[in-house]
Amino acid sequence: MELMVLLNALVTRLLFVLHSLIGVWRVTAVKKEPKYWLLALLNLLLCLETGLTLKFKQGRGYKWFSPAIFLYLICIVPSLWLLEIHHGTQYCGNEPGAVQVNVSNQDFNQSRDSSHGSEGTDHHIIQTAKVFVNQLSTICETVWTLALHQTFLLLLVVGRWLLPIGVEITRDQLSQLLLMFVGTAADILEFASETLDIEDVRKNYALINAILAVWTWSMLQFPLDLAVQHIGCKSSAPARRIPSLLLCRYSAELWNIGVSLFIQDGPFFIVRSILMGHFRIFNQMLVFFTAKNILVVTLQLYRLAVITLDFRATVLQKSRKGEVCCCPCEPYEARAHATGHQENEMKEFVAFPPKEESQAPSED
């Protein structure tokens, strides 16, 4: 096993565990009940996955699916649910940052003076760490919740980047996937923060649960790598039906369209439409992002129509020429493997032109 592969696999999962434990700590501090530390046991699933991946995959990833990302979602999402439900019960001043910085500097100077010359450097470090932890505990709950949301989505992207990739996905595909994840994470963060910060939403417990359910549903796209990978065609081309051929050729594009319509922009549009239509909640940002969701959904449907028409035209053209309708998942390479004996005969003819030219004088 390569050292860098092992290091990346362990460090990334360690970051997932630490962030999950911070979320559990915040839930315990907010709820003031030690029983919520039991949420930390969910990290055992991630530890088990780490051992199995190191043993059977030598630390590398799987095709189409990332178990580490999926288990990280299982570990952190319950904590974020509890924090959002318990949101807004702690008072935050108008300028909490300035107050916290001043108090932190004052406590730091006191700890430095008390430890100077008597306790030594070790005691000074311990006192500084205690002051730092105490100041973190004084940050208001709303700031903590938003920070956990932000670091959670950033860690999803960075963690997917650091995780060792399998042989089925290339670096080029990974870079495309990470760019998609950055845009997706920004949209999801905006949806959660913009809708849950509305005062009328905070007064409706059922509406909070519905928004969090849609937010959780949108997270399920992160463990999957189908946005940049084709499913491939392994069965014989003549035996495949038209829908299978369409899925084979445009699997990545169809997945992106499906994610937008059924996992992200479609559900986001429904939630925002309910807020405006049923609950009569209106503000400038809510209207803007609703219009943005409508535009994205419309463009994705237009893209689906273009793909369908293009595929239909390709099939009709091949059928008129009497060619075998193959699955061009790789447009310029797969066709060479699916045209049958006609392709082979053409290759043989092109491969030996000198032999035919040498036979022509002998016949004369």
Tell me the C-alpha distance between 232 and 328, whole Å: 9
- Three-state DSSP at 261 gives helix
Residue that has been written with the tokens 């434990």 in this structure? 21
Q: In the beta sheet, which residues pair with residue 224?
A: 65
Tokens of 241: 């039906």
Residue 357 confidence (pLDDT) above 90 = no
User: Taking a C-beta distance cutoff of 8 angstroms, is the pair 279, 202 a contact?
Assistant: no
pLDDT digits (tens, 9 = 90+) for 188-211: 999 998 899 888 898 889 999 999
Higher pLDDT pick, 329 / 219: 219
| CA dihedral (352, 343, 250, 232) positive or negative | negative
User: Taking a C-beta distance cutoff of 8 angstroms, is the pair 93, 38 a contact?
Assistant: no
What dihedral angle (degrees, nearest 10) is formed by the CA atoms of 251, 264, 74, 147? 130
User: Taking a C-beta distance cutoff of 8 angstroms, is the pair 261, 201 a contact?
Assistant: no
Q: Which of 78-82, 175-179, 350-354 has the highest mean pLDDT?
A: 78-82
| Span 295-312, average pLDDT | 93
**What's the predicted TM-score (pTM) here?**
0.77
Tell me the C-alpha distance between 72 and 57, whole Å: 19
Tell me the C-alpha distance between 25 and 44, whole Å: 16
What dihedral angle (degrees, nearest 10) is formed by the CA atoms of 82, 84, 87, 93? 120
Tell me the C-alpha distance between 258 and 48, whole Å: 32
Residue 294 confidence (pLDDT) above 50 = yes
Question: What does each C-alpha distance from 334 to 164, 233, 248, 338, 339 come to in angstroms?
Answer: 28, 9, 12, 7, 9
- Three-state DSSP at 250 gives coil
| Residue 232: CB atoms within 10 Å | 12
pLDDT digits (tens, 9 = 90+) for 157-194: 999 999 888 767 788 888 888 999 999 999 999 999 88
| Percent share of the chain, pLDDT over 70 | 71
Residue that has been written with the tokens 């199995």 in this structure? 52
| CA dihedral (50, 53, 55, 59) positive or negative | negative
Residue 2 confidence (pLDDT) above 60 = yes
The pLDDT assigned to 238 comes to: 47
* Stretch among 22-31, 221-230, 236-245, 315-324 having the lowest mean pLDDT: 236-245
| Span 214-219, average pLDDT | 96
* Stretch among 95-104, 130-139, 178-187, 295-304 having the lowest mean pLDDT: 95-104
